[in-house]
């Protein structure tokens, strides 16, 4: 099975999906959506310090696509921080390369390859696990990437 060329590769799911500003302005914050590929662009270029060339290779997209992606993401993040908006990370034409599983009993974070199937916490042997890729609507679709 092969995936459509337009899918972008995200190294692993984000740990948090929603960020809410703290404080009381008397009205609920406006929501700003950042897609998973925009999140990954910021992670690679601004957090990890990769060049646009290296970052675009990692996401399997062209450099010009990467540049457009990061510019959009930075504008949104500036708007969120300056104007006190709520950030929601979701969507985007992506697949994950790796996954994160969290044990809901001991909070252990387990980092795995996407195709590995973790059914038990290695620390406390609980089966009460949260699958981060699944929580973003992914899973089997990512394993052929
Ligand atoms: Zn555990
Ligand atoms: Zn997927």
139 Cβ neighbours under 8 A, 6+ residues apart: 131, 133
Q: What does the pLDDT read at residue 23?
A: 86
Q: What's the CA gap between 71 and 92, in Å, rounded?
A: 16
Look at strands 98-103 and 86-89 and give their pairing: unpaired
Q: What does the pLDDT read at residue 5?
A: 54
The ligand minimizing its distance to the Cα of 132 is: 2
83 shares its domain with 117? no
12 shares its domain with 30? yes
Residue 129 domain boundaries: 98-142
At 44, list the tokens: 């690679």
CB atoms within 10 A of CB 50: 17
Residue 2 falls within a domain, yes or no?
Answer: no
CA of 102 to the centre of ligand 1 (A): 8
CB atoms within 10 A of CB 65: 15
12 shares its domain with 39? yes
Mean pLDDT per block of 10 residues along the chain (145 residues) reads 70 97 86 98 98 97 97 98 96 96 97 92 96 95 82
CA of 56 to the centre of ligand 2 (A): 18
CA of 40 to the centre of ligand 1 (A): 28
Q: Report the CATH number that the domain containing residue 15 is assigned in CATH.
A: 1.10.10
90 shares its domain with 102? no
Looking at the structure of the chain, the number of domains it has is 2
CA of 118 to the centre of ligand 1 (A): 12
80 shares its domain with 117? no
Reported pTM: 0.90
Sign of CA dihedral 72, 44, 86, 104: positive
CA of 6 to the centre of ligand 1 (A): 37
Q: What does the pLDDT read at residue 6?
A: 72
33 shares its domain with 52? yes
30 shares its domain with 66? yes
């Amino acid at each position: 099975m092969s995936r459509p060329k337009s899918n972008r590769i995200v190294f692993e799911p984000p740990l948090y999906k929603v960020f809410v500003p703290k404080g009381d302005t008397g009205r609920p914050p406006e929501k700003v959506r950042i897609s998973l590929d925009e999140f990954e662009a910021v992670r690679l270029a601004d957090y990890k310090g990769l060049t646009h060339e290296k970052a675009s290779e990692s996401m399997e997209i062209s450099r010009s696509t990467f540049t457009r992606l990061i510019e959009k993401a930075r504008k949104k993040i500036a708007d969120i921080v300056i104007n006190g908006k709520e950030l929601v990370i979701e969507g985007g034409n992506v697949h994950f390369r790796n996954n994160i599983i969290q044990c809901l009993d001991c909070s252990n974070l387990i980092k795995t390859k996407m195709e590995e199937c973790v059914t038990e916490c290695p620390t406390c042997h609980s089966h009460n696990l949260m699958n981060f890729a699944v929580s973003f609507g992914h899973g089997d679709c990512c394993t052929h990437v």
